[in-house]
Amino acid sequence: MGRVQRHNAATKPIIFFIHLQLLKLSIDMSMDNIPMTSRIYHQIRKLGRCLTPIFFIVVFITTGWGCRLWAVLASDGRDLYNPGTVDLSCLYQELYLLQQQGGLPTNSWPYNNNDGWGISYYYQPGFHLMLNTIRSSEPAAIDSILFENTITSLFSPLNHTNIAMGHVRTASSGAISIPNPHPFVFRDSAVTYTFIHNGSVDKSTLLNLLTDDETDYSWINQHPPQTYGYGDWQTDGWDYVVDSELFFLWLVQSIQQNDGDINSGMNEALGVLEQVRPNDHKNFIFSDGEDLYAYRSNMLVFPNLYYTLPTNNIFHYAIMSSPPTTGPAGELNWVEIPHRSLVKFSPGGLINVDDHLFPGLLSSETDVVPAAMNLSNYPNPFNSNTQINFTIPNSAPIWLRLIDINGKTVRQFSEGEVFSPGEYQFLWNGKDSSGNAMSSGIYFIRLHTDAVSDVRKIILVR
């Protein structure tokens, strides 16, 4: 299979003159209804991409002003439709706030997500759980008739909806003038996964991960990303592939490789991705129709992800990028999800909140290694040689690789060979599989079995 023809994403940005933007910023300072900080960010977001270091910093900041997420899960086996309660008032308020965040022309939000909206909801009118998805290319605030009809259907007492998620889009990759591709949907046998994402993740890195460094296209050829009519995804259509869908496919592939175990699959997928792309923004919400998973990976002040729990008169869990601050929903206790933490919501009330909910996921401050394998290397940093150490508690096939910052394998030590229980050491001399000396930089040891995985950072200094 041929390699994807990657096109330079810098061929399409609109470059603004800095003096013009500063002039517009000074004019906009006169707007009374926007706080000073919001006005500044409102203008910064317009600067777009540029090749200078100053503009690079601006782009890094403004990436976080992207899409807005919303998701809810009914608690205790209920439906989301609970008439005559403040619970339903909160749900309507959350959704209408999401609509306003979707490009409302009369409200000067510092973020106007004007590239369409999408809503998915799981419902069970009979014996089978079903999914309905509505997408639009129009800003949610303008597309009011379809948006409100969707809400009416979502809360219909005949539908028995238990999970819903919504997304208003500011496009950062892929096709623009299309219905919002979020929520993404993946049907896997009897399970249907849904996914919404806020942020940007490097597409080339995700492709490397999905295809084992572009050596095995079998899985992604069975589940190709969409190009929305712009050609084959491996050639002309690559520019129109949305990074969020590749991120979703990476999660699903890992879940499938772990026999449908979502916890184990996300352990491996997120553990690797956080190491090879630590600065990409990966806020997402994921569902299998039974539970909700919300993950925040974003060092910026905002947008973050917040959640609120059921109370005596509130019968749903809610997750939002920008939750209400007034009204009945604003009075709920909205809790910020910590950076690089995942929260699992189940109807019965089980909630897992942990920086290291999955053992392969490493925090931003420290390397946490699963005790079962004790993966380490010494010395680190190193100049000529470093010894990789690990322990195998039970006989199992082992995959041990070294990967670079882009997720590409540079050296393979074991490809599924069965190891007996014991302690093992491998020496890496800083060379790739062809014997070429690697340049100074950050690399990663990736060790995994069928049951557990781990990643550790290595620093090579020439």
- Structure confidence by residue, pLDDT tens digits, 133-174: 999 999 998 899 999 999 999 999 999 999 999 999 988 889
**What region, left, alpha or beta, does residue 390 occupy, with left being phi > 0 and alpha being psi -120 to 50 degrees?**
beta
Cα distance between residue 181 and residue 196, in whole Å = 9
More confident: 378 or 362: 378
Backbone angles phi, psi at 279, to 5 degrees: -100, 0
Q: Return d(Cα 112, Cα 139) in angstroms, integer.
A: 9
Per DSSP, helices labelled H in 178-299 are 203-210, 218-222, 243-257, 262-276
pLDDT for position 134: 98
pLDDT number for residue 235? 93
What pLDDT score was predicted for residue 373? 75
What 3-state class would DSSP assign to 301? coil
Q: Among residues 354, 190, 146, 358, which one has the least CA distance to residue 269?
A: 358
Task: Give the pLDDT score at 451.
Answer: 63
> Sorting pLDDT into bands at 50, 70 and 90, what band is 76?
confident
Which of 37-46, 195-204, 208-217, 291-300 shows the highest mean pLDDT? Answer: 195-204
CA distance 134 to 107: 24
Partners of 351 in the beta sheet? 345
Distance CA(200)–CA(244), nearest Å, equals 7
C-alpha to C-alpha distance for 98 and 12, rounded to whole angstroms: 29
Domain 376-460 has CATH 2.60.40.4070: yes
Neighbours of 226 (CB within 10 A): 17
Residue 104 tokens, joined: 């409302």
* 357 has a pLDDT exceeding 50: no
pLDDT at 282: 93
Beta strand 351-354 with 396-403 is unpaired
- Tell me which of 370 and 133 has the higher pLDDT: 133
Per-residue pLDDT of 289-333, as tens digits, reads: 999 999 998 866 666 899 999 888 899 999 999 899 899 999 999
Query: What band does 80 get if pLDDT is binned at 50, 70 and 90?
Result: very high
Per-residue confidence (pLDDT) for residue 293, from 0 to 100: 94
Q: Is a pLDDT exceeding 50 seen at residue 14? A: no
The span from the CA of 71 to the CA of 285, in Å, is 7
Q: Which H or E element spans position 27?
A: helix 18-28
Q: Which residues does 151 contact at the CB level (< 8 Å), separation at least 6?
A: 92, 95
pLDDT at 52 over 50: no
Phi, psi for residue 187 in degrees, rounded to 5: -100, 120
Residue 190, SS3 per DSSP: coil
Q: Pick the range with the lowest mean pLDDT from 68-72, 122-126, 372-376.
A: 372-376
Evaluate if residue 21 carries a pLDDT over 60.
Answer: no
CATH class (in words) of the domain with range 66-354: alpha beta
The domain limits of the chain are: 9-61, 66-354, 376-460
Residue in the structure block whose two tokens are 């046998």? 189
- Hey, CA dihedral for 105, 109, 115, 117, is it positive or negative? negative
Q: According to the model, what pLDDT value does residue 212 have?
A: 84
| pLDDT of amino acid 459 | 85
Q: How many helices (H) and strands (E) does the chain have?
A: 10, 20
Place of tokens 């008169």: 313
Q: Checking phi first, is residue 48 left (phi over 0); if not, alpha (psi -120 to 50) or beta?
A: left
Distance of alpha carbon 380 from alpha carbon 363, whole angstroms:
18
Position 353 pLDDT exceeds 60: no
Residue 356 has pLDDT above 60, yes or no: no
Before 278, cis peptide (omega within 30)?
no
Q: Which two tokens stand for residue 386?
A: 């470093």
Give the pLDDT of residue 401: 87
Task: Give the mean pLDDT of the chain.
Answer: 79
Percent of the chain at pLDDT > 90 equals 43
pLDDT in tens, 53-72: 333 333 333 334 578 999 99
Q: What ranges make up the beta strands (E) of 124-181?
A: 130-136, 161-168
Query: Mean pLDDT, to the nearest integer, of 100-109?
Result: 68
Q: Please tell me the distance from the alpha carbon of residue 414 to that of residue 392, in angstroms, as a whole number.
A: 13
DSSP codes joined into one string, 197-219: EES---HHHHHHHHTTTTT--HH
Tell me how far apart the alpha carbons of residues 124 and 158 are, in angstroms, rounded to a whole number: 9
Query: What local confidence, expressed as pLDDT, does residue 102 receive?
Result: 86
pTM comes to 0.70
Which of 165, 181, 151 shows the shortest CA–CA distance to 121? 165
